[in-house]
Structure formats: structure tokens, C-alpha cells
Structure 1
Amino acid sequence: MDLKSLIRDIPDFPKPGILFRDITTLLRDAAGLRHAIDSLADKLDGAGLNAEYIVGIESRGFIIGAALAYKLGIGFIPVRKPGKLPSLVHSVEYELEYGMDKLEVHQDALQPGSRVLIVDDLIATGGTASATAKLVQQIGCELVGFGFIVELRDLAGRRNLPDVPIVALVEY
């Protein structure tokens, strides 16, 4: 199945000069969504990562990550923007091109030594995925890999990630 044909291009979003790759059109297509989740599960499972948990990055990473965790029969942990989680949190600050941001995860969500796979819809510069990796490693977990539906190769986000397997289904 051609997943690219299900991903919509939106020019000048969120600002002029940016070409946004919108996966909501893929998500609404039942066969496309099933194919994307099944394909990502097969590739990640085939990599022998033996993850115990998927950490999904807010917000589209929740959609992909939860479906993937279900398919692989492992747990799902959400990583959120500040102030969204109701219990004590671990947090990490990271730099964006226009300032700073922060990600949080519940302190009791993961135990040190847990094998974690980080999932999001898309990797661009790798900043958010890299920050999530730091958060996971700060807890003492073993980062076993990354999974994405889309990778924007020209932005070289892989270079900003730890040296673990990285799976992406569609490249631009």
C-alpha cells in the first residue's frame, strides 16, 4: 500500500515556508491505518527490540503508539507537555528553534531497567524525540529504538538521536 498517497501536504503551516505532512488523512483511512500499524509492528518486532513499553509523544504519538502497543502486546506510556499529568512527574527541558519546551512523564510510569521504544508520527529535526530519549534515560530505562510513520530526511533528525534502531515507514 502506498502510504504517501494517504498523507496530505499542507503548504505554509504552521508558518510560511513550511510544508506540513498531515497524517490525519492516513488516520481516517481504515485500511491505511491498519497497514501503517501492522507494517510498523512487523518492522519493529523484526528488529528484535523486545520492548516492554512504548512511550508515545504528545499528541499524534499517542494515536500511533497506543495502537502499536496493543498490536505488540506491551504497555503504553504517554509523554506530555507540562501541566497535563495529575501525579508526580519526571521532566526534561529542551530547546526549540524559537525557545524552550518541556516534556513530562509520571514518576511511577516506568521502572529503571525497563526496555522502552519511543514512537511518534513524524521525525523532523529530532528535537522532541531526542528530549524524550533523555527523559527515558534519566529514569534509568533502556532505550531500545524509535518508530515513526514519516521521516523528513532532509532535516537529518536521525543525527540528533541516540544510536539505536530507528524505523520509519515513509520518507520525504
Structure 2
Amino acid sequence: MSEEEKRAELYRSVREFPDFPSPGVLFRDITPVMKNPSALRAATDLFERFIRENFSDVDVIAGLDARGFLFGPVLAQRLEIGFVLIRKKGKLPGPTECMSYALEYGKAEIEIQSDAVDPGQKVVIIDDLLATGGTMKAACDLLQKKGAEILSCLVLIELKSLKGAEKLRPHRVHSLLQYD
């Protein structure tokens, strides 16, 4: 299957739910991608191809809680590198490093285990969706605080109109699907 055919299959697999979770929001549901082995393989293939073509020296994939955990481990296994969890505060055992970030309605925190990445390691961050970029930006900041080098931020879906990629500059963002 060509890259174009794989993207087309992904677009066909994403469901839309108007007015969820609140009026005026069009929710893009990736559940059908996860349910369809061919679509899931297409997404993983496209992520893998992007990394292999652009970064020969990636050390680790870091996945954001929780949907980055769906794609990250499989991708890391294919690349024969490690996978690191970036979780909501209070979900990881042992010593952790934490980063706060702003939400429209308050603040949130993410964390990583203190020994998850070493200074100088090259990291690709993965999640399912990039909207305003707050969580991904916090993940970049947290990993840089640990001394890691961010190679790219990968997402299945990017909501272009919310301009999350602008918030992540100078980090590179690669999305498989884009919506306005």
C-alpha cells in the first residue's frame, strides 16, 4: 500500500462526533483506527517511515499519557529503541521530574521518572492529537530539563486552526492527518 493509500485509509477510519465534549466542538475519534488492524498498521508504518527517513540517531520514543501509549511502544519496538512514559502527575512510582502547564480552565502537570532519559539522548515524542500544543510543549520542556534533545513531535492528527505547532517552535511537528 502506498503512502497516499495509507493516509486515505486513516482519514476514512477517523470518526467525527459533533458537539462533543461540548457544543461547537467537532471531536475526531481514533477508536476505529485502533480497531482496524490495517489502519493501525498504516499509521505505524507512516510514523516509522518518517523517523527512518529523517533521524538515524533516535535513542528513545516518549509517549504522552495516554494515547501516545497506543502508538509509541509498537513504534519503539520496530525501531529497536526504548519507550518512555510521560504521565499525568501522581501516576509514576519512584523519583520523578514534573512540569506544570496552563489549561484554559486552570493548570495541569505531567511527569517522567527521573532515570527515564539521559542527558544528550535524542527523543521523538508521540501523541494522538495536537490541538493547542500545551501538553506537547510541556513534554518538550520536561525532556529538555532532563538534558534530552527533541528531534520531533509526532501526532496522528493535527488541528491546524488551533496553531499548536506554532507553540512548539523550534521543535519540528509531523502529523499524519491535518484538519482545519
Q: TM-score normalised to the size of structure 2?
A: 0.92
Confirm or deny: 8 A CA contact 1:91 1:104 kept in the other structure. Answer: yes
Residues 38-97 of structure 1: CA distance to partner in whole angstroms, max 9, x if unpaired?
A: 111101221125210011000010111111111211110010001110111000000011
Q: Distance in 2 between matches of 1:86 and 1:104?
A: 11
What amino acid is the match of 2:99?
V
Within the candidate set 20, 27, 35, 2:42 is matched to: 35
Across the aligned residues of Structure 1 and Structure 2, the Cα RMSD in angstroms comes to: 1.0
The C-alpha deviation readout for 1:117-153, integer Å capped at 9, x for no partner, is 1100111111110000000001111111111111111
Q: Do residues 77 (structure 1) and 101 (structure 2) align?
A: no
Question: What secondary structure sits across from 2:88 in the alignment?
Answer: coil
Report the CA distance between 1:98 and its aligned residue: 0.8
Q: Aligned letter for 2:159?
A: L
- Identity among equivalent positions (%) equals 40
Partner of 1:139: 146
Q: Does 1:162 align with 2:161?
A: no
Determine if contact 1:11/1:17 at 8 Å carries over to the other structure.
Answer: yes
Partner of 2:123: 116
Provide runs of 4+ in structure 1 moved above 2 Å: none
Q: Distance in 2 between matches of 1:167 and 1:49?
A: 16
| Structure 2 residue runs without a partner (length 5+) | none
| Contact kept? 1:44, 1:147, Cα under 8 Å | no
Q: Which residue does 2:53 correspond to in 1?
A: 46
- The residue aligned with 1:26 is 33
1:91 and 2:104 are equivalent in the alignment: no
Match of 1:63 in 2: 70
What CA distance in whole angstroms lies between the structure 1 residues aligned with 2:103 and 2:97? 20
What amino acid does structure 2 have at the position aligned with 1:137?
Answer: Q
Question: What is the letter of the counterpart of residue 55 of structure 1?
Answer: A
Moved more, 159-168 or 17-26: 159-168
Aligned pair count reads 172
